[in-house]
Amino acid sequence: MRKYREFFTDGRLSVLIIIAILVIDQLVKIVVKTNMSLGESIRITDWFYIDFVENKGMAFGLTFFNKLFLSVLRLCAISVIGWYIYRQVKAGARTRYVVLLSMVVAGAVGNVLDSMFYGLVFSASSPFSVSQWVPFGTGYAGFLMGKVVDMFYFPLIVTTWPEWVPYWGGEEFVFFSPVFNFADSCVSVGFVALLIFCRKELGQISFRKL
């Protein structure tokens, strides 16, 4: 047991978590992208679908920034958080803090990999054809310009707004409507858990510690 604990240091645990998340995320994305046409949907239950979509923006399909700017911003954020995790491991931070930070950075890396390489190695997905592997550099987009693959759709509540509701009366209402991927969920869960369980560490962050 002692040797087990000595081997699984926080640093090694962080690396293992990041690798595991990246492997799962990329496997799911590649299987979906190479087996489903764009917009194709597979019903698992009434509240869970595999719905293949692609986006150029942030998590859950948001598009606030230029694609290239967003990709560069992600790379910078990943570098800063990665360095911060390294510093926290060296400083003996709590294991839960390191684990949750690792989830966030792994999720961010997962989506950046789509932007970096998918446009180089895949043909474009469309509603009429399934994407195929192509020789490196001959895909549908350049470096950092690839689209992020999303597939998880959870329409937990599907109803109609009452007629008396301004603007939306009579229209369909879906909760939860965004389509997301495994990397998105890791970022979201990790971030929320940090806010709940690691407020002390977050309150002590300063630029001098990055």
Question: DSSP per residue over 57-94, as a string?
Answer: SSGGG---S-HHHHHHHHHHHHHHHHHHHHHHHHTT--
Distance CA 112, CA 98 (A): 21
Distance CA 184, CA 25 (A): 9
Looking at residue 209, the DSSP 8-state letter turns out to be G
Q: Could you tell me the pLDDT band of residue 159, with boundaries at 50, 70 and 90? A: confident
Distance CA 176, CA 44 (A): 16
Q: Is the pLDDT at 67 greater than 50, yes or no?
A: yes
Distance CA 179, CA 149 (A): 10
pLDDT at 163: 85
Q: Is the pLDDT at 85 greater than 90, yes or no?
A: yes
| 3 state SS of 187 | helix
pLDDT at 4: 47
Q: Which residues, in sequence order, are bridge partners of residue 192?
A: none
Contact 150, 181 (CB under 8 A): yes
Residue with tokens 């923006």: 57
Q: Is the pLDDT at 77 greater than 60, yes or no?
A: yes
Q: Is the pLDDT at 1 greater than 70, yes or no?
A: no
* Token pair for 122: 């895949």
Contact 59, 148 (CB under 8 A): no
* Token pair for 22: 């990246």
Contact 42, 31 (CB under 8 A): no
pLDDT at 207: 53
Contact 134, 118 (CB under 8 A): no
Quote the percentage of the chain above a pLDDT of 70: 89
**What is the distance, to the nearest Å, from the Cα of residue 126 to the centroid of all Cα atoms in its chain?**
22
184 has catalytic annotation: yes
